[in-house]
Structures are given as C-alpha cells and as structure tokens.
Amino acid sequence: MTVPGALALSALFLMTAPTLGAQLISIKTVPIAQGDQFNVFPSLNQGMGGVAIGLPDTLLDPFRNPAKGGRLSIARFFGSPMVYGVSNDAGGGRTLPVAAIAPLGSWFGALSLAVQEVDPSRPPGSVLMGPPPPGVVVRGPLPIVVTPPAPESHGNAYVFALVGKTLPKQQVSLAASFSWARLNAMDGVDLLYPGSQSINQFGHEVDVRAGLLKEWAGDRALDAVVLHNHVGMSQDVSYLDLFWDPGTQSVQQRGRVDHELDRTDTWGLALQYARPLTASGWRIGWLATGNLMSHPKIPNYELMNIPRDPGHSHAYQVGVGVARVSGPATFGLDAVYEPIWSDTWAAAAAPTATGAGDTIPVGGKTIENRFHFSNFQFRMGIGRDIVLGGRPRGATWQLGLAAHTVHYWLVQSDFVQSAVRPQEEWWVEWTPTWGLTLRFPELELRYNGRVTKGTGRPSTQSTPTFLADAAGVRSGDLLVAPSGPITLQGVSVVTHQISLSLPLH
C-alpha cells in the first residue's frame, strides 16, 4: 500500500516501544511491522492472546507491577530465550533473558538480565542514478550505481530489578522497580532512512515504577502503578551524495552524516481491579491507564521528509476483561478502548515569509500536526490442562487471538502556505497465538508462539535523479533527492519463546 508523503509522525512511537508492556501506550501512525525486540519476560497467558485483565499472569505481572511480586510464595529462577523474524528477510533478533524472584520473610525481590542481538531490517542494495537534466553533459557511463556496505547485527542489553514488602495484616504489597536498557539497535529504524548508506544507533531507556497491590477477602484485588519512562536515542545516518563537479566535468561522490536525536519522556498511571462474579468460576476485571508524553526531539525521518521537532501526547486506555476457570479449562477475553491525542510541530530556525505576506519569527510554528486516535484492542484465548504421566495438570495447551485496530484523524496546518489538510487512516493488526506447557516435579517448560499480520516494511518505488535545475547542478548543489511514493510491503512477524521455570528450595 502507498503511504501519503505528508504523514507527520511516521514510526516515531513505534521505535520507542516500551520494554515493560501494558502500562505504556504506544502510538503508531503508519502500519510498520515491529519485531518482538522488547518481549524479554516470561508470560503465563501469552499463548492465550495475552489476556491480562480478568485473568492473572503470575509470571509476567511482577514485571508490569512490581507489587505483584508479593504473590509468589516460593523462589523461582526463569530462563526465557526468544527468537523473532520478519518475513521477506526484513530483519529478526534473538534474546537470552534470565531472571530470579524470591521472597524473604515479608520482603521480596527480583533481578533480570538479558542480552540481545538485532539483525538489520534491510538487505544490502544499491542506489541507481537516473539521467541528467537537459543542458548537462556527463562524461562516463550511466547509470551510476552506489552500493551500500552490508549492514551488521548489533547487540543490546537489559537490566531489571525490583524490591518490595508485604504487609500481611493490611493485605497490602508495596514495591518499586528499575529497568535500564542499553540500545545499539532499534528494530526497523534503518528502514526509515531509505536513501542512507549506514546508520549508527546508540542510546538507552530507563523505566522507574512504584506499585501497590491491595487484596480483600473473596479474591478481590486492586493494583496501581505510577511510572516514569525515558527514551534517549541518537542516530548517525551516513549518506553518499552525488554531485556535478564543473572542474572535472564529471559526477563525483561526497559523504555526509546527519545526526538525529529521538527523545521521549512519559509519565503514567495505571489502575486495575478484579473480582469474582456470582457465577461459578467467572471473574471480571476493569483497567484504566493514562500516559502523558513529551517529545522534546523527534527525528526527521527520511521516510516522510517532513521537518518536525517538539511535540506532546496524552493517551488513555479503558478496558474490561472476563475470564472463567472451570476444571481443566480456562477462558479469557479482554476489550480495551484507546483514545489518544497527539500534537507535533516544526519550529522556524530563521524568520520565514508566508504566502500571505506575514513573517513567522524564529521559534514560531511553520507546520502543526494534530492527531486524534480512536483505537481498540481485543484479546481472547482458551487453554486446557491434560493428563501427562499420571499428573492431572502434567501439560497445558493454549490458543488465542489478539487484534489491534488503529483509526486516527490528522489535521495538518501549514502556516507558511496558509493551508489546512485533513486526513483519515485506519488498519487492523492480527496476532494468532499458541502455547504448550509441560510440568514436571522439578521444573516447568513452556513454549509460546505468535505471528503478527496486517503490517509492512517501507520501501521506495523510485530511483534518485538529478535536480532539474541545470544551473544549480553546475554550481555544486546536491544532485540526488529521493522521490516518489512510499510503499509498505506486507510482512509477517513470527516469534518463538521457550520459558524454563525452576523452583529454588
């Protein structure tokens, strides 16, 4: 499908996806496929579509809300290696996380470490030079082909720690967690600069959380999380520009490096309440989440070629979930509504004349992009215990499906041209999931898999050409500029995770 060139946010928020899931709300304006780079923790319900509101996920919950670590009664060690791949040789990655969580009297704590390797999203290719403009004589053969070097895989590292305390009389758990990621590669970022030769990424993500869990008689529970998340990335993008050298009357090559910054700060609050229903085995839960985001620096992605710098967003989730455990069978269903508002703009670096004859001062807005999202998430799944080796719960199989609909309206105001452009976009992402758990007296072995469809990877359907102005060409200006529509080629993202859980006695 063709992506309009005037879209303002591109994959900004896609590239800053959170490492700790649900309480951080991601924003996407283009259906670009994202690999499961941040899927580094074990999950009990991932094979059931990731249902999490009405059905507890005792493996993943402590990493989302550190206070839920107080529910674990014995110490455990986890290892959950994960691999993912994007079809059409469009990238992939491997992660090896290890984690331990342990109670010590009324105190409890956890530590997780992970190393990761991310493969490049684009294969080695070439840039084709088209014919020169009229009036320019080029000596030497045409076309000219510039072949970028083969992209390399890069490594990331993740650290997570939590500490908390349980107050038995009050049936309350309090905890705090800290996570840090050293990021040398964000999956898919290299595709956002289609005319570049290479991209050097480096940066970090910091996530700090404080959590509370309050439980009452009758299996009722309320949990709350307050968080602050900071993402700071730098991208050194190398280009090889072709220009006309009047001295030699030939086309020459010249290197250029653009330094792009990506900064986002998020404050968040999440509340979740769950309780049994009167019907036997049924349980219901409610979810409310709010995020306030500041974007002091947004990269000028070559994919969209629109200047934009500061911005801010506020995003919310309101959801309900139901679940039922009936003997060996388990069922879960979540429905979440996501209203989101985002505002980004470009600031004038110098006094800028407008088409109406006015002047925009330095720092004034030249372009403003206002987004309103109305998104939905649906997750559902089933699971069933089966007898294995004489043990009633010796094994469990799971099947699930998750769907994410993105629907937004954009109003873009161009203050230089005194023009306003409305636009509406929507798409659906589908994720079938499956899982199998084997339980032995000494350990649990769990496999989860999923495949995401309905997204794509960007590519350009044109070749760089000379500037049409022959006089500008002879004066030594840059001759190559990407042109033509941006398209997304449909791909699938397939993820496999194996989790090993060992009790520590």
Does residue 477 register a pLDDT over 60?
no
pLDDT-derived band at 129 (thresholds 50, 70, 90) equals: very low
Provide the 3-class DSSP secondary structure of residue 473.
helix
Contacts of 480 (CB under 8 A, 6+ apart): 127, 129, 195, 241, 242, 464, 465, 466
Burial annotation 159-170 (CB, 10 A radius, 16+ → b, else e): ebebbbebeeee
Q: What is the pLDDT of residue 10?
A: 38
pLDDT, position 210: 97
Does residue 337 have a pLDDT over 50? Answer: yes
User: pTM of this prediction?
Assistant: 0.84
pLDDT classification of 476: cutoffs 50, 70, 90: very low
Task: Tell me what the mean pLDDT of segment 38-42 comes to.
Answer: 87
Phi and psi torsions of 70, nearest 5°? -70, -10
- The tens digit of pLDDT for each residue in 149-187 reads 566 788 999 999 999 999 999 999 999 999 999 999 888
Q: What distance in Å separates the CA atoms of residue 284 and residue 275, rounded to the nearest whole number?
A: 6
- What's the pLDDT at 143? 46
* pLDDT at residue number 484: 40
Given a cut of 70, is residue 24 above it in pLDDT?
A: yes
**CB 299: neighbour CB atoms within 10 A?**
26
The pLDDT, as a whole number, for residue 172 is 96
Structure-token pair, residue 88: 């059409």
**What is the separation of C-alpha 418 from the centre of its chain, rounded to a whole number of angstroms?**
34
259 or 214, higher pLDDT: 214
Per-residue pLDDT band at 268 (split at 50, 70, 90): very high
Do strands 391-414 and 82-86 pair parallel, antiparallel, or not at all (unpaired)?
unpaired
Residue 9 in this model has a pLDDT that exceeds 50: no
Number of Cβ atoms within 10 Å of the Cβ of 1: 12
* pLDDT reported for residue 122: 65
Q: Band of the pLDDT at 148, cuts 50, 70, 90?
A: low
3-class secondary structure, 334: strand
Range in 31-40, 471-480, 490-499 the model is least confident about? 471-480
Taking the C-alpha atoms of 183, 19, 73 and 225 in order, what is their torsion angle to the nearest 10 degrees?
A: 130
Residue 5 has pLDDT above 80, yes or no: no
Q: What are the tens digits of pLDDT across the range 291-334?
A: 999 988 877 766 554 555 688 999 999 999 999 999 899 999 99
How many helices and strands in the chain, by DSSP H and E? Answer: 3, 22
Structural contact between residues 56 and 323, judged by C-beta atoms closer than 8 angstroms: no
361 has pLDDT over 80: yes
Nearest in space to 70 (alpha carbons), one of 110, 20, 21, 120: 110
Query: Looking at 8-12, 45-49, 390-394, which range is the least confident one?
Result: 8-12
For residue 431, the SS3 value is strand
Give the residue with greater pLDDT, 262 vs 334.
334
User: What contacts 272, CB < 8 A, 6 or more positions away?
Assistant: 53, 222, 223, 224, 285, 286, 287, 288
CA gap 205, 207 in Å, rounded: 7
Contact, 362 vs 351, CB < 8 A?
yes
Position 474 confidence tier, pLDDT thresholds 50, 70, 90: very low
Q: Which of 199, 160, 230 is nearest to 18 (CA)?
A: 230
DSSP string, 365-431: EEEEEEEEEEEEEEEEEEEEEEEETTEEEEEEEEEEEEEEEEEEEEEEEETTTTEEEEEEEEEEEEE
| pLDDT tier at 22, thresholds 50, 70, 90 | low
What is the pLDDT, as a whole number, of residue 473? 34
- As a whole number, the mean pLDDT across the chain is 83
151 versus 419: the higher-pLDDT residue is: 419
Q: Would you tell me how many other CB atoms lie within 10 Å of the CB of residue 249?
A: 13
- To the nearest 10°, the Cα dihedral for 64, 69, 73, 78? 60
Q: Give whichever of 117-121, 236-240, 256-260, 443-447 has the largest mean pLDDT.
A: 443-447
pLDDT at 141 over 60: no
Compare 11 and 405 and report the one with higher pLDDT.
Answer: 405
Q: What is the pLDDT of residues 89-114, one digit of tens each?
A: 888 999 999 999 999 989 999 999 99
Nearest to 195 by CA among 88, 300, 349: 300
Q: Which CATH number fits the domain that encloses residue 139? A: 2.40.160
Q: 483 is in which domain, residue-wise?
A: 2-504
Phi-psi region of 20 (alpha: psi -120 to 50; beta: other; left: phi over 0): alpha
Higher pLDDT, 339 or 462: 339
- Return left, alpha or beta for 293; rule: phi > 0 is left, psi -120 to 50 is alpha, else beta: beta
Total number of domains constituting the chain: 1
Residues of the chain with pLDDT > 70, as a percent, come to: 82
CA–CA distance, 35 with 57 (Å, rounded to integer)? 23
pLDDT at 478 over 60: no
Residues 6 or more apart whose CB falls under 8 angstroms from that of 165 comprise: 70, 106, 107, 108, 173, 174, 175
- Judge whether residue 37 has pLDDT over 50: yes
